[in-house]
Amino acid sequence: MQRKRTGFTLIELLVVIAIIAILAAILFPVFARAREQARSITCISNLKQIALSTLMYAQDYDGCFPGLDFALASSTGDIYSDMYKGVAEPPDNAWVDYVLTYGLATQLYPYMKNRQLWKCPSDPNARPQPQVGSRSSSYLYQFMASNAGAARAWWGASFPAPWHEASTQYPAQFKMFSELNPWHDNRFIDNPYGWYACWDPSSKMNFAFFDGHAKTYPVDMVLWRFPTTGTYPCYDYIWPKYGWPNPADFHDLP
């Protein structure tokens, strides 16, 4: 009596494997996008909480936003307030002590109680606890507020120092914080201009504004584009997109 075959043939196994491979090729990008979307939601939640903490700080200091003292910035060399903001890497322990003592995250800690909020889940290089050789923030604080004293010294006495709630008429349109890079849509464009950050204009970036709300926009809609980089879409976070040189008119959204 002939025994009944119970196994699969090689052809059948190959067909099953091919079907699985096709399904994986279809589903994996979907899963990756869903994971990145979840990270983006966490990131924008971080920005929202940081912005609200900054507003609470201002309420406790007569409407003045946190900032680095210009004399201290000049004496330490942190003239662009990058160490203060946590977006520069401390080269030694002296700079780590400076960040821990005078940094923005230290100023806002009583209102947040959580340094992890400074790290975007898609930013692999941020270490919320300041340490040698690592940034401590994934987010960039508005320069006009972070070093208002420098703005006044460099661009004229009309610049308020410290930055105040009454310093701008457009709190819902003037960015307080932005991602350091569009972490979830980082379509960087190689360019010949060194440190200039160039991205596809439609790359999405998360922002928080001076009224406390946070939202995602294409970089070209919010960031000021350098007029001297030709066809390269290169951006600078410092300058407001609209309203220069009158601080009261500063805003980034139309």
What are the sequence ranges of the domains in the chain?
A: 11-249
Across all residues in the chain, what is the average pLDDT? 91
- Percent of the chain at pLDDT > 90 equals 80
The amino acid sitting at 132 is V
Higher-confidence position of 5 and 30 = 5
Where would I find the beta strands (DSSP E) of 6-138? none
Tell whether the model's pLDDT for residue 23 goes beyond 90: no
Is residue 126 a contact partner of residue 135, using CB atoms and an 8 Å limit? yes
Based on C-alpha coordinates, what's the Rg of the chain?
A: 24
The torsion region of residue 18 among left (phi > 0), alpha (psi -120 to 50) and beta comes to: alpha
At residue 28, the pLDDT reads 60
Higher-confidence position of 25 and 105 = 105
Total-model pTM = 0.87
At residue 170, the pLDDT reads 97
CA distances from 25 to 3, 15, 21, 34, 184 (A): 39, 15, 6, 15, 21
Comparing CA positions, the residue from 181, 178, 52 lying closest to residue 122 is 181
pLDDT tens-digit map of 175-211 = 999 999 999 999 999 999 887 899 999 999 999 999 9
The CA distance from 40 to 160, in Å, is 34
The CA distance from 83 to 97, in Å, is 11
At residue 17, the pLDDT reads 79
pLDDT tens-digit map of 141-176 = 999 999 999 999 999 888 999 999 999 899 999 999
Sign (positive/negative) of CA torsion 17, 20, 25, 31? Answer: negative
pLDDT tens-digit map of 35-60 = 778 889 999 999 999 999 999 999 99
Residues 6+ apart with CB under 8 A from 245: 155, 156, 158
Higher-confidence position of 6 and 74 = 74
pLDDT tens-digit map of 209-242 = 999 999 999 999 999 999 999 899 999 999 999 9
β-partners of residue 72 are none
Average pLDDT over residues 117-129: 96
At residue 32, the pLDDT reads 57
CA distances from 126 to 41, 121, 187 (A): 18, 9, 20
66: helix, strand or coil:
coil
